[in-house]
Structure 1
Amino acid sequence: MSERLPRTPLFPPVETALVEPNGLLAMGGDLSAARLLEAYRHGIFPWFNPGEPILWWSPDPRMVLVPGEVRVTRSLARRIRNGGFVVRVDTAFADVMRACAAPRQGESGTWISPAMVAAYTRLFEMGYAHSVETWHGDRLVGGLYGVAIGHMFYGESMFSREPDASKVALVRLAQQLQRWNFGLIDCQMETSHLASLGARTMPRATFTARLAELVNLNHRPGPWRFDAPD
């Protein structure tokens, strides 16, 4: 059984997470900035549906992307060069979260509730959460958001309103994080979409050991500005 959380922002060891469902560690608590940052520092993230208690996860294995290993196919490279996209960072955080929260085709709901939007907006205002946005003219057509601590980036969600728009944002993010010597992008759960971009699975023990190093490196507060070559 997953453990109930106390009011203070503490978590049980990730090794005690359930095998089925994979990674369920605890329930309850709140979405305060202190608890969220404590969770991320230990490789834990919240994921729950509206009306459920807050559920905290640390799956094994973990899907990660090393910034220097992002895979850009020829077709994606052409889209980046010729698609008319402009990538910006931290200029439309709330808009990106709302776009990620919109129901996807074939889905009836979303786990990104108003409470989640409010919680991550607080992290954005504190300089920990970031949005990477793909623009086509004056239209926001894709992007992603996540949390950065030290030299670790935790991807949370992506969206696309035009083909490849979220991929363009992820590639640009990876290029910049490589320039800043970030070690990993956490992708949380394994998907074929992320695998096609170079993400791979990593045992949880390896992930948390690497995490312990990266989160203690110098933090780069937001708002961010990218300076890596396109």
Structure 2
Amino acid sequence: MPRIEPVDLLNAYCEGAFPMGEDDGSISWYRPQMRGILPVAEFHVPQRFARYLKQHPFELRWNSAFGDVVRGCADRDSTWINNTIIDTYEELHQLGFAHCAEVWRDGKLRGGVYGVSIGGAFFGESMFSREPQASKVALTHLQWRLKERGFLMHDTQWTTPHLAMFGGHEIPCAQYLELLHRAIRRKVTFM
């Protein structure tokens, strides 16, 4: 099984690249020409979902079941999260760089989101739901935490309809790199 050294992964993030696992167990590196971001300061919660949040029956936790969140994200028919990715991000979590927002109900993990923080940049990796709205709840609380802590950017790699409803959009790689280099120099912490 290939291995990604944590320092190599952190350096890649700082240069705008990220890994994805392939079906054969190998790792490919990406640096798309258009990058998805989710605005931190201007994060938008749709009105209908905001009403849902006010009465949601979930408990939110941070970093209490990181490996379970990553495996929950990998638990789908088609995934880029192979064993190398799981092992690498669990190691980054132990080193204090990878974090997750977890959504629980009745003592069971129902959804979550995980990613990597470097300075004031958060690199969102994946999210999952085991029941409706759970990943949106995790994402919303993550965004609020990033804003509260002074983060400058949330990289989503690409933009999906799910992210677009919260204001996610794409910017050219050159603009992304400018924002990235400002963000990683910012002195903030996730926890």
- Normalised-by-shorter TM-score class: over 0.9
1:125 aligns with 2:94: yes
Partner of 1:70, secondary structure, is coil
Q: Which residue of 2 aligns with 1:144?
A: 113
1:158 aligns with 2:127: yes
Q: Which residue of 2 aligns with 1:46?
A: 19
The higher relative CO (CA closer than 8 Å, separation ≥ 6) is in: 2
1:62-211 residue pairs with structure 2 within 5 A?
62-103=35-76, 107=77, 109-211=78-180
1:6-45 residue pairs with structure 2 within 5 A?
30-45=3-18
Residue identity matched to 1:133: E
Bigger helix share? 2
Partner of 2:163, secondary structure, is helix
- Please identify, of 212-221 and 81-90, the stretch whose mean Cα deviation from structure 2 is larger: 212-221
Question: CA RMSD for the aligned pairs?
Answer: 1.5
Residue identity matched to 1:79: Y
Contact kept, 8 Å, 1:145 with 1:156, in 2: the verdict is yes
The separation in 1 between residues aligned to 2:108 and 2:25, in whole angstroms, is: 34
* Aligned residue-pair number: 190
Residue identity matched to 1:50: D
Q: Which runs of 5+ in 1 are unaligned?
A: 1-28, 225-230
Q: Which runs of 5+ in 2 are unaligned?
A: none
The separation in 1 between residues aligned to 2:133 and 2:15, in whole angstroms, is: 32
Partner of 1:38, secondary structure, is helix
Contact kept, 8 Å, 1:62 with 1:203, in 2: the verdict is yes
Identity of matched residues, %: 38
> Could you list the per-position Cα deviations for residues 124-164 of structure 1 after superposition, in whole angstroms to 9, with x for gaps in the alignment?
00000001101112111111000000000000000011111
Partner of 1:34, secondary structure, is helix
- Report the TM-score, using the length of structure 1 for normalisation: 0.79
Over alpha carbons, which structure has the higher Rg? 1
Contact kept, 8 Å, 1:64 with 1:199, in 2: the verdict is yes
> Could you list the per-position Cα deviations for residues 157-196 of structure 1 after superposition, in whole angstroms to 9, with x for gaps in the alignment?
0001111111111111111111111111101012111111
